[in-house]
Amino acid sequence: MKLHALDIPDDAAELPAWLERHLVGLDLGTLVSELRAVHGTAAAEPALREVLGQQADAVLRGGLAQLSPDRLSLLLQHPELLADLQEQILTRGGTYWDRVAAESAALPGPCARGRERLAAFLNAPGAAGSAEAPSQAHRLSLPPRAAHDQEAMRPGARVRWYRHPAFVGLATAAAVLLAVRAYDARYRGSGVVQPPVVAATGWGWAKPDALPQDLTAPAYFNRLADAAQEWFNKQPEDAVTLAQRIGELRQGCSVLIFAEHRPLGAEDRVWLVEKCRSWAAKLDDQRVALEAGGKPEEVRAATDEVVQKLVVALRARADQTARG
Amino acid sequence: MAVSPGATLSDEQLADAIVQRERSADAMQRARDACGELYARHAAKLLAFLAARAPRSQLEDVHQEVWERVWERLPGGFAGGNFRAWLFQISRNLLIDQARKKRPMDSIADHDVPDERQARPDLVLFESERAAHLRNCLEKLAPEAAALVRARLSGQSYDEICERNGIRMERAHKLFHRAKEQLHDCVKRVTA
């Protein structure tokens, strides 16, 4: 079990950035809980406005580097203020915070899955709010996912409309159609070479919005790394599902090999395409090993390693291009 | 550069496209696209907000629920103004609804001491078991190590700590590193 608070950077200069990542990431609740365990609860908590003082607006515009070490220390010692600060940042923060959120490694997976679910919802019969739409009372109860599934498996259980197999099938088809449409729309008339014979997937490099062409080179490499990291969002245990997922990742390699990569200079493009060919070959090897009877857990571990290395390579290239 | 059709519109213009969705089939498609664009702009920050206030096992379901509420309630519930503020208000209300469902009134009455947190059902302190384990494990550390952990986790630099306590930098680093390992092992052991 990871204890997030103990990852506090040794170098005090890195403290603002570390805290900022938590404020727009998925683990702030855990961090607050850990810091509370360490510092205890004070009899009188200061208000956020007292701690931020005159820097409140500057923090919303330009981040925590605007705060003195003493004020940062108060936030850590009264961690519930971090939840209040987070709310301020998310509801009123400027583009600085958009950039911090965009660089978060934890968010792309849940965001992508949410996009698929929203597309399915919007394309469901009755989503426009007609009588066919599910009643509010019915949909508001949200037991954990495992409980959902157990409930659905009970004989005679009422299956939620959006979990009905017929709907799931339709919704998946609709989501794929939407993804392909969006992909077409993005590339049509843009001068970008659309990757041939590669169907869009809901994750990784083959998803419709995986290759934004309006980024800087370092941000583009980091975006590719984030997309690759979505591999770890699922851990298929059986051979068929694993083969399919490796295949989807492999499809992503084709997307990269054929894409134009406008944000990159010629040298970076050549580097990326050569790397993609190498990664594609390694993924092909894993699929062959699986189809030859290899143990799924071993193949998955080997593929994990390939993906981990390629993510490191992409991030290193991002750093290199950032340094010029 | 290719941009999505709604990329140049403000949040409020996109919200208006959703409000107007019943006018025609084209309007419905524009509304769906607008909803997708709003999602692209706000989903990441909304997830961060919800993740600090809802159990992780329910995060993605709650997130989905918020967007469904947005779609359903925009036509009658959004009176213009700041869409982002409205989105987070919808989210806060959903969390409050869920917190109330989980905490019936009779269990609230059991608390004699007024707790400000009770007045803020949107701020859910979860993982209390994990925090209790960490607190217990911290108490098992040697006093010097525990004090060092508290100092480091309140943002004090090694320079400050060494100067205040008269210890050498190398020793402080070593002590903190060892305390981290002990805490990790201890919490792992008790939660296994």
pLDDT one-digit tens code per residue, A9-53: 999 899 999 999 999 999 999 999 999 999 988 778 899 999 999
Q: Which of B98, B134, B46, B3 lies closest to A189 in space, CA to CA? A: B3
Q: In whole angstroms, give the CA distance from residue B178 to residue A59.
A: 35
B25-37 pLDDT, tens digit each: 999 999 999 999 9
**Do residue A39 and residue B150 have CB atoms under 8 angstroms apart?**
yes
The pLDDT confidence band at residue A266, using thresholds 50, 70 and 90, is: confident
Average pLDDT score, chain A: 77
What is the structure's pLDDT at A150?
Answer: 35
Token digits for B146?
Answer: 């525990």
Packing angle of the helix pair A80-92, A15-23 (nearest 10 deg): 70
ipTM: 0.84
A301-319 pLDDT, tens digit each: 788 878 877 877 888 788 7
Interface of B with A in 7-36 (CB under 8 A): 21-22, 28, 32, 35-36
| Averaged pLDDT for residues A174-193 | 44
Q: Of the spans A33-47, A74-88, A228-242, A277-291, which averages the highest pLDDT?
A: A74-88
Q: Are the CB atoms for A56 and B135 separated by under 8 Å?
A: no
A291 against A97, higher pLDDT: A97
Q: In whole angstroms, give the CA distance from residue A182 to residue B99.
A: 37
Average pLDDT score, chain B: 84
Q: What is the value of pTM for the model shown? A: 0.59
Q: In whole angstroms, give the CA distance from residue A37 to residue A321.
A: 41
Q: In whole angstroms, give the CA distance from residue A275 to residue A252.
A: 13
pLDDT(A55) > 80:
yes
Q: Of the spans A104-108, A133-137, A144-148, which averages the highest pLDDT?
A: A104-108
**Do residue A33 and residue B62 have CB atoms under 8 angstroms apart?**
no
Distance of alpha carbon B86 from the chain centroid: 17
Q: What is the dihedral of CA B84, B40, A101, A203, to 10 degrees?
A: 150
Which chain B residues are within 8 Å of A188, Cβ to Cβ? 2
CB nearest B60 (choices: A8, A34, A110): A110
What is the structure's pLDDT at A313?
Answer: 81
B137-161 pLDDT, tens digit each: 999 999 999 999 999 999 999 999 9
| Averaged pLDDT for residues A50-67 | 94
pLDDT(A275) > 60:
yes
Tokens 């969006």, residue located? A182
Q: Which of B164, B151, B156, B18 lies closest to B78 in space, CA to CA? A: B18
Distance of alpha carbon A187 from the chain centroid: 23
SS3 of residue B166 by DSSP = coil
CB nearest B84 (choices: A86, A91, A189): A91
**Do residue B39 and residue A117 have CB atoms under 8 angstroms apart?**
no
Token digits for A22?
Answer: 């938590």
Give the best residue of B23, B49, B124, B141 to mutate against chain A (max A CB count within 10 A): B49
A15 against A127, higher pLDDT: A15
What is the structure's pLDDT at A182?
Answer: 46
B77-106 pLDDT, tens digit each: 888 889 999 999 999 999 988 888 766 544
**Do residue A35 and residue B153 have CB atoms under 8 angstroms apart?**
yes
Q: Which of A252, A112, A226, A264 lies closest to A175 in space, CA to CA? A: A112
DSSP A209-255: TS--TTS-HHHHHHHHHHHHHGGGG----SHHHHHHHHHHHHHHHHH
B59 against A324, higher pLDDT: B59
Q: Are the CB atoms for B21 and B28 separated by under 8 Å?
A: yes
| Averaged pLDDT for residues A142-169 | 38
SS3 of residue B70 by DSSP = helix
